[in-house]
Structure 1
């Protein structure tokens, strides 16, 4: 039988068709029973891959360091020094000589002379009779007039043996602007000698607009 005749043989084609149909029947049966689904789930399951590292061997530890003990030399003994002799000086007792002569007296400084007593105070009316006229004619200071000031001044002075006026001082003053006018007025007083020096006080009153 030739090759062409074998190809036209219907039995051979029938066997092939039966085999294909049988495969499809088995495949449909497997899908109906869930076998195909299990196969797909098995194929979809993740694949765990683990990497095994190579075990590294550690190097041996280094040997412990050697301890070197330093040997110290003991110091030589100190050289012998002979003791030093220190001379001891015995204090010499001083010779005390006694004298029968008494000690010289200590000079006494002379006492300072006593200060002269202050002259007694005398009333202005007794010593200087014209004091009323002088005090009433004292000019009012221009500065005090311009500033509208008032004040009191007490002048103290000494009346000599012959009635002269000296040692004029300002004893009290409420404002120094009136001191010059009061001092100048004292020079115009005519005083009587009392046979001794006497201290006299004379008051001056300055009233603005008075």
Structure 2
């Protein structure tokens, strides 16, 4: 059967014709129902374009660190020391002794003799001085026992004129010593409110006070009081 006869056979083209007819029916149905408009709307919508940053090339890896090669000091070979060669021995002949030679010898002086010198005599030991003997202090007794008239002396002592002018009052304590024979010695004012009263009180004790000897030197005190009558 030739090729021309195959093309003329209508039974073989029914499938293709049926497909074309169905395709046109679907296309007409789509146009009628607005499918074409939706396709046009989709085409009219703006396209969203997003820019992607250009990828930068990666930096090249750092070069490897240089290898440190330790420096080795060059080996210096020390040359061997030279061989010691002793100098040739030269024999020196001593000159012959001269005839009739006189050899002078100097005598060695004897060592000096040390003369022992006598050491100076040691100074005499100091004589200890005797310790000072403490002076015996007189015993203290009651003035009433040693001096019976002490109250009369206190009452008869005059008021100092300077104290009267100044309008002063004061107190004086006179200390004195009574010898074994009853005499008065070393009268001093040991306590005083004003010097203006000292001389009068000391004079009254030294001249007017009569004391009785106690067999030893004793010490006593007599207080004086000077008051102005208001």
TM-score, structure 2 length as denominator?
0.46
Which structure has the larger Rg over C-alpha atoms? Answer: 2
Calculate the TM-score normalised by the size of structure 1: 0.50
